[in-house]
Structure 1
Amino acid sequence: MTSPGRTEHLVLPGVLTAAQATETVAGIRAVQREDGAIPWFRGHHLDPWDHTEAAMALDAAGEHDAAARAYEWLARHQLPDGSWYAAYHDGDAGQPTDRSRESNFCAYIAVGVWHHYLATGDDMFLDRMWPTVYAAVEFVLRLQQPGGQIGWKREPVEAGDNAVPDALLTGNASVFHALSCALAIAEEREEPQPDWELATGALGHAIRSHPERFLDKSHYSMDWYYPVLGGAVTGAQAKERIEERWDEFVVTGLGVRCVLPNPWVTGGESCELALALWAMGESDRALEILQSIQHLRADGGMYWTGYVFEDKAVWPEELTSWTAGSLLLAVAALGGDEATTAVFGGERLPRGLEPECCQA
């Protein structure tokens, strides 16, 4: 059920009218399965991170029952070690198609659960989901390396169940955000987690100060803006980071490139950059980015994943739930939705304890 008045946060000049917002929310609802799973689109796979992002968009629209069903799907499908598989088939959403378990995919439930709680104030939901969040965080932190960074994933059991120690900056920035939300949940429950605080502090320090601890993926725009979006990099350091590569990644009037040097702008990356800009206090630039990608809007209210501007062609020809979800979340932040602004507010979340060696 949609809460009265919730769509007012999803109306933004040049981006969404009230009718368009309603249409986009309905588009995501149409993708969601009866069991709560939200695949990329019907007939494609589900992954835990994008499933959660779509659920958060539903909460931003006041569709709290639908969002709760998405989190309950995750709780039912959590593996004994606290993880989830990287992908599940839409035709049978309980069957995995990729049995690796990625750290950022598994951590992100903490962001969604905290967002849902802030949107609803539902203490019983938080009580039900706490064991799921706790187990997921513990799985992720077992992949933390001595330098603070989090290893990418665990390989499938049939491949030896080996941990992959290589760390991805984007994934780690997402994990930092998730750990911050997990700490907020722990504080709300009055169940302090000092080990999580230390782990989060060490991870944040690695992101801010030790780029050599991560694989070089600097040609991807996500590695550029995600440390800001995830809250590890804030203030003057955030502004400097964004300005440094703005002209490389932002295509005026079209959106944000996914990867250099490809002439391909994508809706998800554009909306995430808008969220990062909002978190930095640059709402005007965030609005411009969101306005620039309305060429990706399709009939029915969903959004194409990307656009190859040299060919003037939509590619791939996919209307993904997570692209629409990222747009709704960015609009909700700019519109002042309290739960969304709290979750993506950067410095408003716990940031862990800085390692003693690095404290001023």
Structure 2
Amino acid sequence: MTVPGRGGTLALDGVLTADEAALTADRIAALQRPDGAIPWFRGHHLDPWDHVEAAMALDAAGHHDRARAAYEWLARNQLPDGSWYAAYDDGDAERPTDRSRETNFCAYVAVGVLHHHLATGDDPFRRRMWPVVAAAVDFVLDLQHEDGRIGWKREADGAAVTDALLTGCASVHQALRCALRLAELAGDPRPDWELATGRLAHAVRCHPERFLDKSRYSMDWYYPVLGGVLRGEAARARLASRWDEFVVPGLGVRCVLPNPWVTGGESAELALSLWAAGESDRAAEILGAIGHLRAEDGLYWTGYVYADDAVWPEERTSWTAGSVLLAVAALNGHSATTAVFGGDALPDGLAPDCCAGAGHPER
């Protein structure tokens, strides 16, 4: 295992050689449009969350100019209310294909901007992007309920969808903590964000009944850990609780029960969650198990239906490759990646006065 600093080489025994990781990063970069947009693959759509995930992988691999271009695309194409559309045809900002605006998609820019700043030390970039982040967070928090959960999205006509998703809200929690750190760096205190972050964390940690039941999906299982809501023994207990349901030894992680389908993105995200819970060896095992999804060009197939011995769907996405590189980067100690996914130095927000004994997670 090599240990990069801000940039550096990514390699992990049994998972990726340095040359293989570099090839994967180059292939993600090759999918990027000249205007900075990173679609799933050329000819498919871009969504803001996966666009940021791919950009973070580029930073982890040292492609800082490419990553900065991805964030500048977001800055140029932010809507007046601080949001972005849920999907754009091939990343073309003039051709949105889904005009709803999803809260977790919009919040994730905060994670990416902080990650890029930590990877590069680029203060002018951070200052330029701060208003973008602030507007995005305000859009997201406009959909927060008093009980802490955050509504899924606004429809194309502006109507609020009040139902909340556990996975999405756990992702928003990570983003809010990164946004609070950016606020500190900007010298722009946001006490309302601190309160919102604490209420959201409490809802995810203690009140699963407030969210739509998506327990068939592995993301609802591990995202409270990945999003930084659970740490320490609580995180390890959650990951142990459904391990046998979702993990297929030697193949990876199921996306949804009862389907015999393992997916690269969920597997890499579980590896990141395991790393955050202090289980790096198991994280490396999961990453090693999805080697069968790696294509010759360095990208990764989205998934594999093991009952049929078939790759499905037949697509290799920027975000699947990106999630693998980010997991490898965390295990390698890449400082920017460990900061945004470990969260030890990120603000926690203010815990609400509810449910005695349910304060901040163990750190």
Residue 224 of structure 1: how far off its partner (Å): 0.1
The DSSP-based 3-state class of the residue aligned with 1:307 is strand
Q: Distance in 2 between matches of 1:5 and 1:146?
A: 39
Is residue 225 of structure 2 the alignment partner of residue 224 of structure 1?
no
TM-score w.r.t. the length of structure 1 is 0.96
Give the residue type in structure 1 aligned to 2:228.
G
Cα distance change on mapping 1:5 and 1:152 into 2, 3 Å: closer
Is residue 238 of structure 2 the alignment partner of residue 241 of structure 1?
yes
Is residue 220 of structure 2 the alignment partner of residue 184 of structure 1?
no
- The partner residue of 1:275 within 257, 266, 272 is 272
Match of 1:286 in 2: 283
Match of 1:104 in 2: 104
Identity percentage of aligned residues: 72
Match of 1:14 in 2: 14
Match of 1:324 in 2: 321
Residue 175 of structure 1: how far off its partner (Å): 0.3
| CA deviation map 1:300-354 (0-9, x unaligned) | 1000000000100000000000000000000000011000001100343211100
Give the residue type in structure 1 aligned to 2:314.
E
- The partner residue of 2:194 within 187, 192, 197 is 197
Cα distance change on mapping 1:140 and 1:298 into 2, 3 Å: same
| CA deviation map 1:134-189 (0-9, x unaligned) | 000000000001110000000102xxx21000000000000000000000111112
Structure 2 gap ranges (5+): 358-363
Match of 2:113 in 1: 113
Residue 279 of structure 1: how far off its partner (Å): 0.5
Conserved? CA contact 2:262–2:305, under 8 Å: yes
Match of 2:138 in 1: 138
Cα distance change on mapping 1:290 and 1:172 into 2, 3 Å: same
- The partner residue of 2:260 within 244, 263, 273 is 263
| CA deviation map 1:198-228 (0-9, x unaligned) | 0000000000000000000000000000000
Give the residue type in structure 1 aligned to 2:307.
E
Q: Distance in 2 between matches of 1:315 and 1:187?
A: 44
Give the residue type in structure 2 aligned to 1:312.
D
Conserved? CA contact 2:7–2:59, under 8 Å: no
Match of 1:352 in 2: 349
Q: Distance in 1 between matches of 2:297 and 2:8?
A: 17
Q: Distance in 2 between matches of 1:192 and 1:357?
A: 25
Match of 2:361 in 1: none
Give the residue type in structure 2 aligned to 1:212.
E
Point out 4+ residue stretches in structure 1 off by more than 2 angstroms.
Answer: 3-8, 91-94, 356-360
Is residue 53 of structure 2 the alignment partner of residue 53 of structure 1?
yes
- Report which stretch shifted further, 257-266 or 91-100: 91-100
Give the residue type in structure 2 aligned to 1:339.
A
Match of 1:343 in 2: 340
Q: Distance in 2 between matches of 1:121 and 1:7?
A: 15
Between the two proteins, the alignment pairs up a number of residues equal to 354
| CA deviation map 1:79-132 (0-9, x unaligned) | 000000000011734320000000000000000000000001111001100000
Conserved? CA contact 2:6–2:119, under 8 Å: no
Q: Distance in 1 between matches of 2:91 and 2:275?
A: 37
Q: How does 1:64-79 map to 2 (within 5 A)?
A: 64-79=64-79
Conserved? CA contact 2:293–2:303, under 8 Å: yes
Conserved? CA contact 1:100–1:156, under 8 Å: yes
Conserved? CA contact 2:39–2:91, under 8 Å: no
Q: Distance in 1 between matches of 2:295 and 2:337?
A: 25
TM-score w.r.t. the length of structure 2 is 0.95
Conserved? CA contact 1:200–1:352, under 8 Å: yes
Q: Distance in 1 between matches of 2:274 and 2:47?
A: 26
Conserved? CA contact 1:229–1:346, under 8 Å: no
Q: Distance in 2 between matches of 1:186 and 1:300?
A: 40
Q: Distance in 1 between matches of 2:6 and 2:19?
A: 13
| CA deviation map 1:218-271 (0-9, x unaligned) | 000000000000001112111111101000000000000000000000000000
The DSSP-based 3-state class of the residue aligned with 1:357 is coil
Q: Distance in 1 between matches of 2:160 and 2:93?
A: 25
Q: Distance in 2 between matches of 1:78 and 1:178?
A: 17
The DSSP-based 3-state class of the residue aligned with 2:97 is strand
Conserved? CA contact 1:229–1:276, under 8 Å: yes
Match of 1:163 in 2: 160
Cα distance change on mapping 1:154 and 1:117 into 2, 3 Å: same
Is residue 94 of structure 2 the alignment partner of residue 94 of structure 1?
yes
Conserved? CA contact 2:32–2:38, under 8 Å: yes
The DSSP-based 3-state class of the residue aligned with 1:256 is strand
Structure 1 gap ranges (5+): none
| CA deviation map 1:255-302 (0-9, x unaligned) | 000000000000000000000000011000000000000000001100
